[in-house]
Amino acid sequence: MISRIDFRPLIAKSSRRSEVPSASWSGATTTRLGALTTLGVGGSADVLCRPASVAGVRHAVTSAVTAGRPWRVLGRGSNLLIDDAGVDGWVIDLRRLSGITFGDDGLVTVGAGVNTSVLLGATRRRGLGGLECLVGYPATVGGAVRMNAGGRWGATGERIESVVVVDRDGAVREVTHDECAFAYRSSAFARSVIVEARFRLPHVDPEAYRAAVEEIQTTKAAAQPLQMRSAGCMFRNPEGLSAGRLVDDAGMLGLRHGDAEVSPVHGNFVVNHGSASAADVFRVLDDVRAEVQRVHGVELELEVEVWRRSGT
Spell out the alpha helix ranges (H) of the chain: 54-66, 116-125, 141-147, 206-223, 243-249, 278-296
Residues 63-102, one symbol each (x = binds ligand FAD by CB under 6 A, - = not), give ---------xxxxxxxxx-------------x--------
Assess 187 for contact with ligand FAD (CB under 6 A).
no
Q: How many CA atoms lie within 13 A of 143 on its CB side?
A: 27
Residues 241-270 that bind ligand FAD (CB under 6 A): none
Contact 113, 52 (CB under 8 A): no
The candidate with the shortest Cα–Cα distance to 47, out of 127, 286, 131, 65, is 65
Contact 127, 106 (CB under 8 A): no
Stretch (H or E) spanning 49: strand 45-49
DSSP category for residue 282: H
Task: Label residue 226 exposed, middle or buried (CB < 10 Å: 0-12, 13-18, 19+).
Answer: middle
Indicate the residue among 70 and 151 with the shorter CB distance to ligand FAD: 151
Indicate the residue among 253 and 295 with the shorter CB distance to ligand FAD: 253
Assess 232 for contact with ligand FAD (CB under 6 A).
yes
Assess 38 for contact with ligand FAD (CB under 6 A).
yes
Q: Strands 45-49 and 305-307: what pairing? A: unpaired
Distance CA 39, CA 56 (A): 28
Distance CA 49, CA 57 (A): 9
Distance CA 229, CA 214 (A): 22
DSSP category for residue 284: H
Angle subtended by helix axes 116-125 and 206-223, to nearest 10: 150
Assess 189 for contact with ligand FAD (CB under 6 A).
yes
Closest separation between CB of residue 304 and ligand FAD, Å? 8
Assess 142 for contact with ligand FAD (CB under 6 A).
yes
Contacting range for ligand FAD; rule: CB under 6 A; set: 7-15, 168-176, 225-233, 257-265: 225-233
Binding residue for ligand FAD, selected from 146, 257, 266, 308, defined by CB under 6 A: 146
Contact 89, 72 (CB under 8 A): yes
Contacting range for ligand FAD; rule: CB under 6 A; set: 3-11, 43-51, 187-195, 205-213: 187-195
Closest separation between CB of residue 91 and ligand FAD, Å? 9
In angstroms, what is the C-alpha Rg of the chain? Answer: 19
Give the phi and the psi of residue 83 in degrees, each rounded to 5. Answer: -60, 155
Contacting range for ligand FAD; rule: CB under 6 A; set: 62-70, 136-144, 249-257, 272-280: 136-144
The candidate with the shortest Cα–Cα distance to 135, out of 162, 117, 112, is 117
Binding residue for ligand FAD, selected from 49, 87, 128, 194, defined by CB under 6 A: 194
Contacting range for ligand FAD; rule: CB under 6 A; set: 103-111, 141-149, 209-217, 257-265: 141-149
Contacting range for ligand FAD; rule: CB under 6 A; set: 100-108, 186-194, 201-209, 282-290: 186-194
Closest separation between CB of residue 78 and ligand FAD, Å? 3
Assess 166 for contact with ligand FAD (CB under 6 A).
no
Assess 111 for contact with ligand FAD (CB under 6 A).
no
Assess 151 for contact with ligand FAD (CB under 6 A).
yes
Binding residue for ligand FAD, selected from 81, 144, 160, 284, defined by CB under 6 A: 144
Contacting range for ligand FAD; rule: CB under 6 A; set: 185-193, 241-249, 271-279, 289-297: 185-193
Summarize as ranges the residues that interact with ligand FAD (CB under 6 A).
38, 72-80, 94, 112, 137-140, 142-144, 146-147, 149-151, 185, 189, 193-194, 226, 230-232, 305
